[in-house]
Amino acid sequence: MEYRAFGSTDLRVSVVGFGAWAIGGPAMAGSTPIGWGEADDETSRAALRRAFDVGITFYDTADFYGLGRSESLIGEVFGNSDRVVVATKVGHRLGEGDSVMLDYSARHIRAACEASLKRLRRDQIDLYQLHSARLAHLERGECIDAMEELRRAGYVRHWGLSLNTFAPGPEADFLLDRGFGQGFQLVLNILNRRALPVVERARAAGVGVIARMALQFGLLTGTMKPGRRFAGTDHRSFRLSDEIIGRSVELLGPLWHDAGRLGVTPTQVALTWATSVPGVSTVIPGIRTPDQAEQNAGAVVGEADRVEELVEGVSAEACEEMVALMQARG
């Protein structure tokens, strides 16, 4: 496993991290699934332990993942250990009628931080992230002041922003222009490269970058085929249609074929490409089982240049059409 500095902070992270959304289980916001379907807690604990055994030291979660369940599992396995780096997020909560609300008030941030620390069983959160905060929230300044206050008080080592799912807006520039925050989490994968300018600017500023959705909900594993059905408690049930899956197979099939001739799997191509982008500190594929932990930990191969050559053969225009199609579904 390779380890990298997280920007100019004192954090050092495994280049492959553990995305802990899925282990939160089948949470719902009213009738809308906000999880990945059923998850067995003992399997999740075993996955966390196996991930550490194979060198993964960075664990990313949120208080909204499983409505606290994901944080609690990480807390049970690692507690206050300084051998792991734990990142979590704040800003999403259930409102009236169990609808999803965005709350970046200082009062909520302070209360949520205290609750996350208890679930994680930690004295300090290594990286605390505003969960999809928009420009209007940042401009008001209350959430920034609250995060800085938590950092000064020692509850948080560093803080940052988890950016919008499909395309970074002006939020990253707002923080970079003012020197606020030490990290960004953003979507970056073979299909969606919209965040590359943000990564470049963050790198120049010494801001750490977490690349999420490197496997794009499983589309970049090479295993998904049209006709795939998802449980009603899995958010992919409304995000991934047969059309999206079918178009991804058509677009990426030649890439997977060429990769196979090199002896490289689709997952290895996807994770190697994401981690080879200059400025990326860590990539966080979702992990649910010990086998997935082991496979993802070893997925980054020493073929970055050849992988880049393979990916360059994929039509950027077709990728953008795919992303737009997914964005339209939410």
Read off the pLDDT band of 259 (50, 70, 90). very high
* CA 145 to each of CA 110, 142, 182, 290, 319: distance values in angstroms, whole numbers, following the listed order: 11, 5, 14, 39, 38
Those residues with Cβ within 8 angstroms of residue 322's Cβ, 6 or more apart along the chain or in another chain: 191, 244, 247, 248, 251
> Averaged over 305-327, what is the pLDDT?
93
Q: Is the pLDDT of residue 2 over 90?
A: yes
> Averaged over 178-188, what is the pLDDT?
97
Give the chain's domains with CATH numbers: 3-329 (3.20.20.100)
Q: Is the pLDDT of residue 11 over 90?
A: yes
Q: What pLDDT shows up at residue 330? A: 80
Element of type H or E holding 88: strand 85-90
pTM here?
0.96
Q: What pLDDT shows up at residue 98? A: 85
Looking at residue 98, what DSSP letter applies? G
